[in-house]
Amino acid sequence: MANVLAYDLGASSGRALLGRLEGNKIVTEDLHRFPNDPVQVGDRLHWDILRLYHELKQGLLKAKHQKVEVKSLAIDSWAVDFGLIGTNGELLGNPYHYRDRHTDGMMEKLFEEIPAADVFARTGIQFLAFNSIFQLYALKRARSPMLRDAQRFLMIPDLLRYFLTSEMANEFTNATTTQLYNPVLNEWDKTLLQAIGVSETLFAPVVHPGTQVGSLRPSLIEELGVGPIPVYAVAEHDTGSAVAAVPALDRSFAYLSCGTWSLMGTEVRQPVLGDLARELNFTNEGGVDGTFRLLKNIMGLWILNETRREWERAGQSYTFPELVKLAGEAPAFAAFIDPDDDAFLPPGDMPGRIRRYCERTGQKAPEQPGEVVRCILESLALKYRYVLELTERLSGQRFNGLHMVGGGIQNALLCQWSANAIAKPVWAGPAEGSAIGNLVVQWIAQGELSDIWEARKVVRDSFPVTVYEPQEREAWENAYGGFLRVAGLSRA
């Protein structure tokens, strides 16, 4: 049977997943996996975009060598980052990594020219220092020759899709994350573009998930010896794809896409643009089938991953199962952090930052690896409860539990502690949520699935969902109060 190919690019690794429909079941095959390491050059942090394009080609070659027929392909990735294309159709410089420091202070400077309330009312997007609007504003203020010579702005999946097809288009779900797209007018916001000094001609037409945007370009067909495979725009923001794969049966549901970032929210038909949403710093990102994802970004397992990297640099190597085991053996609720404190955003000495945060907030700092990891995981679980309660307040809904998808669900301890913290069931699965959402949108576009709700039922029938029931409710309720005090947060 014909397969469709999903390229799912995360902030630390990428994968090529083959999928086919057999009756009402999805069958997948892991075709190719590869690291995605940022590159520091002088003071700048970049994505290795040409290496990523090379890995896309390796996925096609592996399919060819296995004599797999690929009916179509699509790409999803993280949000906000982009490349700029010049008049000759070539990429102008390596895309900056969203953790690069060139946006430091740009948010505050822009708000001197246009009020934050106006920016939110026009976009509905959460204020994060690395949003595309602030990246472009930083380039403009720095008189970047890249921006001066640019003819097209392409986000990471747009850019890789352009490399594959020679067609340039901006996809809807990722476009909304830029904080430059107006979801009410359904177009790039001219007022905001004027405020940052960027022409609207820089932006390509916006296409929605399920749109075919070309086929493999002739030179690539000749290079790889493959056919003219159609290329689709899916929900190219990986969280958009992950939400498409949430195996929910209830039309009102809460989700947590759990990986390097944790993104928690619900699906709504219209963006929520009021003052409360802005005050709570929620975001309205585009979704599949004309929906919006009302959600909030949480720092996520980046803190654990960077902690582990720091220990490795110091000569202490631990596998993730070893760290989870040590965390389970450490004392409970000894210290908390707010995962969204600005101290935890940049790469670097994460254990030292955790220690300093605890000292600054009057707590005994964790010292042993198990204590540090327990502090991270308990704090994440408790922050999930806080954001879930905010989501209920803002959406006017009450959720019976939480759907967790993404690679983070392989951490059973985090899933169980999340259930304990929210005092509701957690339904964990599938782990490859973004890639599976990528696949199902291709099938909807091709008429193999009727709509997103049939797709979600097929996902539920195809992949195991592990149920975590809440435990130790009184202890976790007490811990929640302590967490809120340490983090300086009030109850929703």
* 3-class secondary structure, 279: helix
Q: Which residues pair with 155 in a beta bridge?
A: 82
Q: Of 81, 100, 238, 340, which residue is the catalytic one?
A: 238
Cβ(237)–Cβ(79) under 8 Å? yes
Per-residue CA distances from 419 to 228, 336, 416, 446 (Å): 47, 18, 5, 38
Q: In angstroms, what is the C-alpha Rg of the chain?
A: 22
Q: Helix 320-329 crosses helix 302-313 at what angle (to 10 degrees)? A: 100
CB-CB neighbours of 216 under 10 Å: 22
Cβ(56)–Cβ(160) under 8 Å? yes
DSSP code per residue over 438-472: HHHHHHHHTTSSSSHHHHHHHHHHHS--EEE----
Structure-block tokens of residue 210:
């399920």
H helix runs in 296-349, sequence order: 302-313, 320-329
Cβ(125)–Cβ(283) under 8 Å? yes
- Strand pairing report for 211-215 and 230-233: antiparallel
For residues 255 and 401, give the distance between their C-alpha atoms in angstroms, rounded to a whole number. 9
Cβ(192)–Cβ(180) under 8 Å? yes
Cβ(492)–Cβ(393) under 8 Å? yes
What's the length of the chain? 492
CB-CB neighbours of 38 under 10 Å: 16
238: annotated active-site residue: yes
Per-residue CA distances from 78 to 50, 168, 189, 219, 306 (Å): 16, 18, 22, 28, 18
Give the residue among 156, 178, 236 at the shortest CA–CA distance from 441.
Answer: 236
Q: Helix 433-445 crosses helix 452-462 at what angle (to 10 degrees)? A: 130
Which helix or strand (DSSP H or E) is residue 428 part of? strand 426-428
List of residues 6+ apart from 97 with CB closer than 8 A: 38, 45, 46, 47, 81
State phi, psi for 369 to the nearest 5 degrees: -55, -45
H helix runs in 213-368, sequence order: 218-224, 238-244, 275-279, 302-313, 320-329, 350-360
Catalytic residue numbers? Answer: 238
